Structures are given as structure tokens and as C-alpha cells.
Amino acid sequence: LIQILMKKIDKKKDIGNLKHIAFIMDGNGRWAKKRGLPRNVGHKFGYEKMKVVLKRCCELGVPVVSVYAFSTENWNRSKEEVDAIFGIVRDNLVADTPLFQEWNVKISTMGDTSKFPKDLQDALSDIKKSTESNTGTILNLCINYGGRADVCYAVNQVLAKKLAKVTEEELGKHLYGANLPDPDLIVRTSGEQRMSNFLIWQGAYAELLFLKQNWPSMSPKLVDSCITKFKKRNRRFGRVK
């Protein structure tokens, strides 16, 4: 019996070669609408579910978890909705700092946060600073992030160096998250099957998984099933197996 139990525990911990899982947290608005709730409430529940997913990833020992919290295109939403998402970062994320400490989570960001209100920028830099020595899972918040903007930003930095040629390696050094492994698995909820300008360079060889559930319906079990599916994928990176 002990052996069977040990096997079960082992199985739970086996994440294969997964180093970086990235989530497109889609469907908050639809989730709320179905329940007659305002869209902002959907985002609030979405944030809470992000923590549930993060906790499971911490338990499993996933090194990096990225979440698409605000895209460069999300500025086109109503001011009320943009403010609500910023409010979650400013209030909830900051209030949860002790939890991230307890889970040994290090917070990092990708995206141009210089376009944010000052108090939001301060909140983000405070939370990054206070978790910087944590050694567990990295929670990488993609915030005011866009894949094309990311590539342009990197190209401009390479141009400023007056190099004669742009190489993949050189460009890669200037992309957001250059210090992080590329995502191995990108999961999008809500049944949509698009990348929506998310990690277009870094995700060039990522496995893609599309779930029908809206983001606020995520669960630890669904995280486990994503990882099980990932482990069954035959990754070849252009080679012949």
C-alpha cells in the first residue's frame, strides 16, 4: 500500500520537462455575464483563480508561471474596466504579498509598465523587490505586454548598439524575460484558439492547449490535466524523433 501511495505522490510531482507554463486567462467577462455579474467581478474572480493555479504550480515545482494580465491592446477597453484591472494589481496583488512570501514565490513582470499610473508602478516595483530573494516558482506578470511591442523594443535596442546584423541570439537578449526559459506550454481558456500577441517570439516552440472552461472556472485538477497532456506531446523542435 505504501508503495502504491508513494507512486501516486511521485506521479503527482512528475511534471516532465516543464519549466515554464504560460496562461492566457480568457473568459472572465463571459463567466460574469452568465451569472448576471459585472465584467469587473469576473476579473476579480479571475485573479482569485490565478492564485489557485499558482499554488498548484508551486506544489508541483513548476519553475515559471506566466499570466497574461493586461495586453497592449487592452487599453481599448472602457476606462472603468482598465481601472478595475489596475485596481486588482494595486490592491489585491499587494495585499497578497505575505502569501507569495509563504509560497516562496518571486514576482517578475514583462511589458512596459512606464505607461502606468505612478502608484501602480510603485506597487509593482515594491512587490518585485520584496519577493526578489524568493527561490520557488516565479510568477511572471505580463502586464501592458504585447509580443510585437516586445520584438520592436528589442530591435530598437539592437539598432542602438549599431550592430551590422541582427541575430536571434542578440535579439533574444533584449526581449522581456530574457533571463527566463521560453514557455514550454501555453494554455488558453474560454474556447478561443488564438495567441493574441502573447509571447510570439518566446513561444515559437511552445505546445498549445485550449480549454473550453472560462478562466474563473480553472481548478488545480485542470492544471494537473494540462500537465498530463503536455507530457504526452511529442516535442521535436524541428528534428526527427
Say whether 74 is catalytic.
yes
Q: Which three cell numbers stand for residue 98?
A: 505575505
Integer CA distances (angstroms), 179 to 2, 64, 110, 172, 199, in order: 41, 11, 11, 10, 14
Identify residues 82-101 at the interface with ligand FPP (CB under 6 A): 85, 88-89, 93
Q: How many angstroms separate the Cα of 143 from the Cα of each of 17, 110, 135, 184, 208?
A: 26, 6, 22, 20, 21
Of 141, 154, 211, 227, the one binding ligand FPP (CB under 6 A) is: 141
Contact characters 7-26, ligand FPP, x per CB under 6 A: ------------------xx
Q: Which residue is nearest to ligand FPP (CB)?
A: 29
| Alpha carbons 29 and 159: distance in angstroms, whole number | 40
Which of these ranges, 6-14, 27-35, 145-153, 160-168, lies near ligand FPP under the rule CB under 6 A?
Answer: 27-35
- 17, 74, 126, 140: the active-site residue: 74
How many residues line the site for ligand FPP (CB under 6 A)? 19
**Residue 28 near ligand FPP by CB under 6 A:** yes
Q: Which of 69, 154, 180, 211 binds ligand FPP (CB under 6 A)?
A: 69
- Tell me the closest approach of the beta carbon of residue 106 to ligand FPP, in angstroms: 14
Nearer to ligand FPP, 90 or 174 (CB): 90
Q: Which residues are catalytic?
A: 26, 74
For binding to ligand FPP (CB under 6 A), which residues are involved?
25-30, 43, 46-47, 50, 67, 69, 74, 85, 88-89, 93, 141, 190
